[in-house]
Amino acid sequence: MSKENKIAQFNPNDIGSADNNIFGLPFEPADASLVIIPVPWEVTVSYSAGTADGPAAVYDASYQVDLYDPFVEDAWKLGIAMQPVSKKIKSTSNKLRKKAEKYIDMYAEGKSAEKNASMKSIKNEVDEACKDLNKWVKKEALKQMDKGKIVALLGGDHSTPLGLMQALAEKHESYGILQIDAHADLRDAYEGFEFSHASIMFNALKIEQVSKLVQVGIRDYCQDEKDIIDSSKRVETFFDSDIKTQQYEGKSWTKICDDIIGSLPKKVYLSIDIDGLDPKLCPNTGTPVPGGFEFEQVVYLIKKMVEAKKQIIAFDINEVAPGKDEWDANVGARLLYKVSNMCLLSNGVKAT
């Protein structure tokens, strides 16, 4: 059935059907404009686990999302679909996570991979597996981009989108990254793992096509990360405490958003760690931090970015960890829908 016929036969006011794809939409990756790659991976998480269950949980919660979007006309018609969650990747993540936990425990005891054969073996195995994952993500992303699709990634921990960023470097001469996060993620091989979730932006800066990294909401970082922020012309950080101070002293969120958007180039890769939000919205995320944004603050920033004619060339949402209820996944699903719609709008995709 053609995309046009699917749209004609679909009732966006009905309950979400599990027979359809994400959000109950009638599209598959083949006829979607935006394809979501789920990556159920959390090998190097250093605090609480659970983000590997994020993609499946967000998918399940997505059927509760109403499809009307006041900012994007006929948003549901644009075409969003998610690939199946890879059982193989999830299984590998679970297996290596157990080994990484042993490594981290020994690391916390003051042992090092340089002097401990067991730690060195685990480190090498994890690093190689992460390299393989990056290659897989890059291959999957390029496969969809070559078909004219816009690509989004749903983690998993925040290490997962590196392959997507590398794929974008083959399609764009230059682009910036807008990172919404509680953490700077600029650590060099955190805890010894080259592709740690806490090292994603350190590794992203190795991509020469990344012209600018703009960080927003950062409120948990170390001295080494602050040194990188202070010394690099490619990095501009809007710390959460500075944002709050400006607001307390009378500066509006819209003017702060203008400052953030003004520091970005035309083409933007959007990377959202769910812990950039106030932890009441993501209590089960791996490393929650007091402070952060309300849901609508983030949506407003992205909306303003689209209105400013920035092109969101791809995006990721990471670190959604489901708890005993669907709250975290519920928030993640709604954020995913809003960002997907605005991403498509920024690329000139219109309803059929």
The structural domains of the chain, ordered by start, are 3-346 (3.40.800.10)
Encode pLDDT of 16-49 as tens digits.
Answer: 788 899 999 999 999 999 999 999 999 988 767 8
Tell me what pLDDT residue 9 has. 93
Alpha-carbon distance of 197 to 186, in angstroms, equals 10
**Would you state the pLDDT for residue 19?**
85
Q: Determine the pLDDT at residue 292.
A: 98
Summarised one tens digit per residue, pLDDT across range 56-90 is 999 999 999 999 999 999 999 999 999 999 999 99
Which DSSP string do the residues of 173-229 spell out, in sequence order? Answer: S-EEEEEE-SB----SSGGG-TT-GGGHHHHHTTSTTEEEEEEEEE-B--HHHHHHH
Global pTM reads 0.96
Count of beta carbons in the 10 Å neighbourhood of residue 135: 12
Give the C-alpha separation, 61 to 211, whole Å.
Answer: 36
The 267-273 sheet, strands edge to edge: 80-82, 34-39, 150-155, 311-318, 267-273, 175-180, 210-218, 235-239
Give the distance from CA 44 to its chain's centroid. 16
pLDDT value of position 139:
98
pLDDT band of 240, cuts 50, 70, 90: very high
The pLDDT of residue 16 is: 79
Cα–Cα dist 140/163, whole Å = 9
